[in-house]
Amino acid sequence: MTSFRLVKTCLHSKARVGELVTPHGVVSTPVFLPVASQGAIKTLTPEEVKNIGIAMVLANTYHLYLRPGISVIERVGGLHKFMGWERAILTDSGGYQIFSLARLRRVGDDGVIFRSHIDGSEHHITPELIIQFQETLGADIIMALDECPAYDDGLEKVKVATERTHRWADRCQRAQKRRDQALYAIVQGGVFPELRRQSAEYLTSLGFPGYAIGGLSLGEPKKVTFAMIEETVALLPEDKPRYLMGVGSPEDIIEAVARGCDIFDSALPTRVARNGALFAWQGRQNIRNAVYSQMEQPIVADCDCYTCRSFSAAYLHHLFNCDELLAYRLATIHNLSFISNLVNKIRSAILDGTFVAFKDSFLADYQPTNEEVRLSQKQKWLKSRHLSQ
């Protein structure tokens, strides 16, 4: 069984520390989940991911259903064994991917017909099938099927999608057979506060062991993202974990923790790492910059990750400059370590009662990547998403 226990709540913000007990270990929250859509954290072995201190990873039902197929993973003994990961796994239902990566053919209450982004083959999935797939994969936390609208869809379209998400959540809950997995529902509602509130209220009424906030950080302005998080969290039960989907930059995580979110996932730290953007306390550093070409020190002086303990910034710069595959690995190790350390510091600060001071100090030093860069990266990613994700 997977259960959640609230350990401490911050007096001056909504930040909290909790404990998720899963069949594959205890996970302290706030927690960040690196993304292993296809059953691998890009460039890393499970051993390395564990050594970084990661307690749970995210895999994607959509990707794994298409390749290698659910039955292959079943045959090999389930997803944990297949990918050689002994700690906790959360599988996303694939709702977001079906609506963003695949070519949609038809969406109805019964389910979705889509064409694979890989080979164009046609597939028909239903909420019940998605639960069955996730029960076969065997993750510790599984997600209800949701319909995820684009961030610029109008009210009517988002309303239809949100209401369908509710009916699907209900069906997913009824379809669940395994009791050792926790099924989380996904709050939708786009950028419309009223829909967000309706969604949180309806899904809460069904009683899930955890709630995700979906459909955010898709290109809308950040203040809208945070406003929607606030609207939603206000209506979610205190004693259940809140999972903010697709958010993973250092500055966004700390802001979302302050607003009461517990679980995060995003491909951002690993994706930007492969582009040569390394997290540092003063913001993202571009390792390709000539300033690093002769730097004997590691990229982050006080970082205890394998990359910073072992190599100079000059070496990392050289590897990126030569397109050596090791570059992507070393940068990924650093970025995941940075996020993992940050989340550890956040937890300690909440427990010590110093979270707000820690947050203010972090954000004062950290130069966020500006909105234009952020959006253009997102666009670039959307174009090449089947390659890069």
**DSSP reduced 3-state for 108:** strand
Of 23, 53, 68, 368, the residue at the interface with a second copy (CB under 8 A) is 68
Q: Under rule CB under 8 A, how many of the chain's residues touch a second copy?
A: 42
Of 62, 114, 208, 328, the residue at the interface with a second copy (CB under 8 A) is 328
> What's the Cα-to-Cα distance from 43 to each of 25, 36, 90, 233, 242, rounded to whole Å?
24, 10, 20, 35, 29
Q: Residues 209, 4: contact at Cβ < 8 Å?
A: yes
Binding segment for a second copy among 1-9, 293-301, 347-355, 365-373 (CB under 8 A)? Answer: 293-301
Of 9, 132, 204, 312, the residue at the interface with a second copy (CB under 8 A) is 312
What span, in angstroms and rounded, lies between the C-alpha atoms of 51 and 140? 20
Q: Which residues in the 329-358 window bind a second copy by CB under 8 A?
A: 329-330
> What's the Cα-to-Cα distance from 52 to each of 49, 273, 326, 341, rounded to whole Å?
5, 15, 17, 9
CB-facing half-sphere around the CA of 84: CA atoms within 13 A: 9
- Fill in the per-residue mask, 79 to 98: x = in contact with a second copy (CB under 8 A), - = not in contact: ---xxx--------------
Of 76, 104, 291, 375, the residue at the interface with a second copy (CB under 8 A) is 76
Of 5, 25, 77, 207, the residue at the interface with a second copy (CB under 8 A) is 77
Task: Return the number of the residue (63 or 159) whose C-beta is nearest a second copy.
Answer: 63
Task: Look up tokens 């786009």; give the residue.
Answer: 190
92 is an active site residue: yes
> What's the Cα-to-Cα distance from 238 to each of 14, 190, 371, rounded to whole Å?
10, 23, 32
What span, in angstroms and rounded, lies between the C-alpha atoms of 173 and 183? 7
265 is an active site residue: yes
What span, in angstroms and rounded, lies between the C-alpha atoms of 80 and 18? 24
Least distance to a second copy, CB of residue 330, Å: 8
Residues at the site binding a second copy, with contacts judged by CB under 8 A: 38-47, 63, 67-68, 72, 75-77, 82-84, 293-294, 296, 306, 310-312, 314-315, 317-319, 321-326, 328-330, 387
Residues acting as catalytic residues? 92, 265
